[in-house]
Structure 1
Amino acid sequence: MGRDKNKRNLIFKPAFKDFIPENKPFTGVTVLLDEEMEAIYLMDVLNLYQEEAAISMEVSRPTFTRILKNARQKLTRALVYGNKISIQDDNLGYIVALCSSSLENFESILATDKYVLIYKIQNNEIKLLDSFENEVFSKKLKPAIVLPQILMKYKVNIFLSTRIGEGLKNSLFAKGIQAIEKQIDKKEDLINLV
């Protein structure tokens, strides 16, 4: 009897979970496990070294190497054989960041507003992780330069704003953070963003 697999620390939340070849009907389905997607995200998007990525996932380096190898083999076979790629996403929680002109309401939620608010959404519960003054506001800095770095420290999955410039969208995307343009009126609107 094999031993139970240890729980992995996963921070990536896929915005898209299915990829289908366009040219002709797909011949099969390749399922990429959430831990495999995490390994690709850490290595190929964040450009971490394997040792750093293994620490982030809370696995040994040999285990991380095996997970990454499996993920890359699956993706390669899916591309070569024309399979649909489905990404497993068992992690129901996610972390949302937004900038607001107020700590009490969401009247204005723009990247240039005074405060940064970080929320964790898990099992339909909303928990404020942190709130602090936005350096973009206080120091008149560019959102595309400042915000992605801050959001990475909090392992944010989604950045929410009523308007997001292309530079910020691209910077967030490069860090694996989904940018959503949407107005919300209350905290409860943060549930079911993905």
Structure 2
Amino acid sequence: MGRDKNKRNLIYKPAFKDFIPENKPFAGVTVLLDEEMEAIYLMDILNLYQEEAAISMEVSRPTFTRILKNARQKLTRALVYGNKITIQDDNSGYIVAICSASLDNFESILATDKYLLIYKVQNNELTLLHSFENQVASKNLKPAIVLPQILMQHKVNIFLSTRVGEGLKNSLFAKGIQAIEKQISKKEDLTNLLDS
């Protein structure tokens, strides 16, 4: 009997989980494990070295190398054979960031608002992890330059705002952070962001 697989530290939350070839019916299904998607994210999006990526996932470097190799082989086969690609996402939780003009309500939620609030959503439960002054507002900085770095430091998966400019959206996407444009009225609305 094999030993149990250690739990990996995964920070990437896929916004899209299914990719289907357009030209003709797909030949099969390739399932990319969440740890394999994480390895690709760390290496090919964040451009980390394998040692850094292994530390981020809390695995040994040889284990990380094996995971990455499997992921790239699966993707290559899917592209060559015309398979549907499905990304496994067993982690039901995510971390969401929101800029707000107030600590008490969400009447204004723009990237340039005074406060930056970071919540963890797990099993429909909401926990405030951090709240601090938004450097974009306090130092009059550009959101596309400042926010992606701050959000990555706090392992944010989703940035929520009523309006996200193209520059900020692209900067967030380059860091693997999904931008959602939506107005919410209360913090409990954060628990179902991925359902809509």
In the superposition, the TM-score normalised over structure 2's length comes to: 0.99
Residue 192 of structure 1, CA deviation: 1.7
- The alignment status of 1:86 with 2:60, answered yes or no, reads no
Residue 98 of structure 2 is aligned to residue 102 of structure 1? no
For the residues of structure 2 that align with 1:130 and 1:156, how far apart are their CA atoms?
11
CA RMSD for the aligned pairs?
0.4
Determine whether 1:7 maps to 2:4.
Answer: no
**Are 1:48 and 2:39 an aligned pair?**
no
Find out whether 1:37 has 2:30 as its counterpart.
no
Deviations 1:106-141 (A, max 9, x none): 010000000000000001100000000001001110
Cα distance in structure 2, aligned partners of 1:104 and 1:54: 39
For 1:145, the equivalent position in structure 2 comes to 145
Distance 2:192 2:3 in 1: 34
Q: Secondary structure at the match of 1:106?
A: coil
**1:40 alignment partner, SS class:** helix
Long gaps (5+) in structure 1: none
Which residue of structure 2 aligns with residue 173 of structure 1? 173
1:145-168 per-residue CA deviation (whole Å, 9 max, x = no partner) reads 000000000000000000000000
Cα distance in structure 1, aligned partners of 2:114 and 2:82: 48
Q: How many residues get paired?
A: 194
Correspondences of 1:111-190 after superposition (within 5 Å): 111-190=111-190
Structure 1 runs, 4 residues or longer, greater than 6 Å off: none
Structure 2 portions without partners, runs of 5+: none
* Alignment-derived partner of residue 24 in structure 1: 24
CA distance in 2, matches of 1:134, 1:154: 14
The one-letter code sitting in structure 2 at the alignment partner of 1:32 is L
Alpha-carbon offset, residue 45 of structure 1: 0.4
Measure, in 1, the Cα distance between the counterparts of 2:191 and 2:136.
Answer: 26
Letter in 2 for 1:128: L
Letter in 2 for 1:2: G
1:192 & 1:134 partners in 2: Cα distance?
Answer: 24
Q: Percent identity?
A: 89
Return the TM-score normalized by structure 1: 1.00
The amino acid across from 1:83 in the alignment is N
C-alpha distance in 1 between matches for 2:55 and 2:139: 34
